[in-house]
Chains A and B, each alone.
Chain A
Amino acid sequence: MSQVLAIENLSLSIAGARVVDGVSLSVAAGEVMAIVGESGCGKSLTAAAVMRLLPPAVRQEAGSIRLAGVDIARLRESEVRGLRGRRMSMIFQEPQAALDPLSTVGTHIAQSLRQPLHRVRAEVLRMLDEVGISDPARRIDQHPFELSGGMCQRVMIASALIGRPELLLADEPTTALDVTIQAQILDLLRKLARERGTAIVLITHDMGVVADIADRVAVMYAGRIAETGPVDALFAAPRHPYTALLLASIPRLTDVPKSVLAVIPGRVPGAAEFGPGCRFAGRCPLTEPRCEAEPPPLAPIGDGRATACWRWEQMV
């Protein structure tokens, strides 16, 4: 399978602190790659770097981001603009906030095609139908405030996919939605990715969402990838202590009622507190002196999996 997106050794910094450090990952056509991690682990910044929409304070220190082989970081702004909406697009966490309150549904979607709405109206209507919006002829001229959150996210998806991009970045696309709507939106993303062969990078903090739709997953912690691999294998047998603890902290229906939620002791270190070694060392039950001193590289461990842990073999 050809790689649509290949991120190699990406490092981003804010005021000298490496908030994303040596991240590498790739996604193939039609594949859903999830990036999972706590708030502030760098997953959203990674997505913003792919779109070249980083906040001004963030600098790309190193690494390459290749979209179908072309390094985005080396393109001129006007060239990147040509890619956005056409070859790569993005949907956001708060669909209502991501739509201009004063513009109509159709105006938003037509922008991805670089055409005024009246010229591409039929195409926009078809797209609205495809993302499951009923009565598109009425909805196309409505404003975001007349739509529910779930419908707004469908509009966002329509605007993201109408240009038939090879890559879709979905930054917490269901976090702000009701659980039932979440499932519908995830199904829709999955279906459209399959039909159109779109590669999806799905950013989430929700392991349930990952299990639902992702093919592969990268677990991030404090700006680095802790572990990556196919979802089923990784969930069945995590090879990084952080992944294992994350999975153990998901409440289950079979838990004894009112039992104490499992938590990972300690907290994520701030960017100023990063030591020379593994960033999870301070909270890890398997820590040994080497972990504090030397950062473990993300090393392949077979079956398409990789882990950044010196002691992963202890977990087998």
Chain B
Amino acid sequence: MGAITLTRYLASRIGQALLASFGVLTIVFFIMRLSGDPTLLLVPEGASLEQIAQLRHELGFDRPLGMQFLSYLGDLARFDFGESLVQRAPVLGIVAERVPYTVALAVGALVVALGLGIPAGIAMAVWRGGIVERALSGFVLAGQSLPTFWSGILLILLFGVSLRWLPTSGSDGFASLVMPSLALGIVAMSTFARMTRISVLDELSRDYVTAARARGLSRGGAVLRHVLRNAAIPVVTIAALEIGNLLAGAVIVETVFAWPGIGQLAIQSIQSRDFLVVQAIVLFVSLVYVFSSFLADLAYVVIDPRIRMGR
């Protein structure tokens, strides 16, 4: 009975992800068009009206919106994101070149966030009301309150300038990834710690924990064998959203640390009014959001038999 419901569940999630992706493409297209004539963003200052009209025609912005939308979808289907008018190169190549850096940064930040946040959350719940919780909650509060641009600069001062352990900026291998990952991961770490704490506390108060202890499990044993898996469900949901937030935060962190990812590219492209590159980055980040939600849906299947069985 499980196989059919599982297939149906996955089919519906894939369908939803595709629908959401199409929604994203559509919204990005219309926001870009409705916020003004894109041609004006592309022409150099002081261009004549004729030059503007000619460029508009070349780029096809004088066609009806519906036609433009269809050719935009057609281009996307062929992975053609157009050509950057600033760099005179295909947008896809420009963005693709930067993606690995941002992925490395996001993975590094996730390692920091999950690796510190989840154990901290579990410890805060299990040793509730004790010194452990008070110490950790101060740490978590600080992590959540420090703005990334400031904590980034503090990290540079400490590890880069005073201690000289790590390079202050740039992309010179693993060592230069450490500080940006910390700066980006700390905020997410606090989110994970708080969510995990609440989720574990919630599960700890349930009857099945008392019942497990009545069967002879220690409190720690009950946490390991029963509580953590149940508590993981809401944390997975947050993790999916947090991946999207990390990409948003990457814009600041990459600028502070001169890390050549898509966040830095986005800022540079906005400043140089490189419209098509910005559009491609917005699309990429939005699709990552959609994809990570889909991954969360897959994770539920692994964790929760009720979803496997369609209950």
Chain A contacts to B: CB under 8 angstroms: 51, 53, 77-78, 81-86, 89-90, 92, 94, 97-103, 108, 111-112, 114, 143, 145-146, 156, 159-160, 163
Contact = CB atoms under 8 A, between A and B. Distances in A.
Contact of A98 (B207, B230, B303): B207
Interface stretch (B6-14, B172-180, B212-220, B281-289): B212-220
A114 B221 CA distance: 11
A102 B229 contact: yes
A98 B206 CA distance: 8
B132 to A, nearest CB: 16
A60 B204 CA distance: 22
B248 interface: no
Interface string B296-307: 000000011110
A81 B218 CA distance: 7
B207 A112 contact: no
B56 interface: no
B306 A53 contact: no
Interface of B: 206-208, 210-218, 225-226, 229-230, 303-306, 309, 311
A205 B100 CA distance: 65
Contacts of A86: 216
The winner among B206, B207, B217, B309 for most chain A CB atoms within 10 A is: B207
B2 to A, nearest CB: 11
A102 B226 contact: yes
Given A90-B211, A97-B206, A97-B208, A102 B216 contact: no
Nearest to B213: A53
A90 B216 CA distance: 11
Nearest to A80: B216
A89 B210 contact: no
Contacts of A89: 214-215
Q: Is the interface of B mostly helix, strand, loop or mixed?
A: helix
A271 B143 CA distance: 44
12 contacts: A53-B210, A53-B214, A90-B214, A92-B207, A98-B210, A98-B211, A99-B211, A102-B305, A143-B305, A143-B309, A160-B215, A163-B216
A21 to B, nearest CB: 24
Given A81-B218, A97-B207, 4 more contacts: A81-B217, A84-B215, A99-B208, A146-B309
Given A53-B210, A94-B207, A145-B311, A101 B215 contact: no
Contacts of B216: 81-86, 111-112, 114, 163
Q: Which of B208, B212, B214, B225 has the most CB of A within 10 A?
A: B214
Given A92-B207, A101-B230, A145-B311, A108 B305 contact: no
Nearest to A55: B210
B303 A84 contact: no
Q: Which 3 residue pairs of A and B lie closest in terms of their CB atoms, listed nearest first?
A: A85-B216, A98-B211, A85-B215
B215 A112 contact: yes
B214 A100 contact: no
B226 A92 contact: no
Contact of B230 (A83, A100, A143, A146): A100
Contacts of A94: 207
Contacts of A102: 226, 229-230, 303-305
A198 to B, nearest CB: 15
B211 A103 contact: no
A108 B230 contact: no
Nearest to B214: A90
Contacts of A85: 214-216
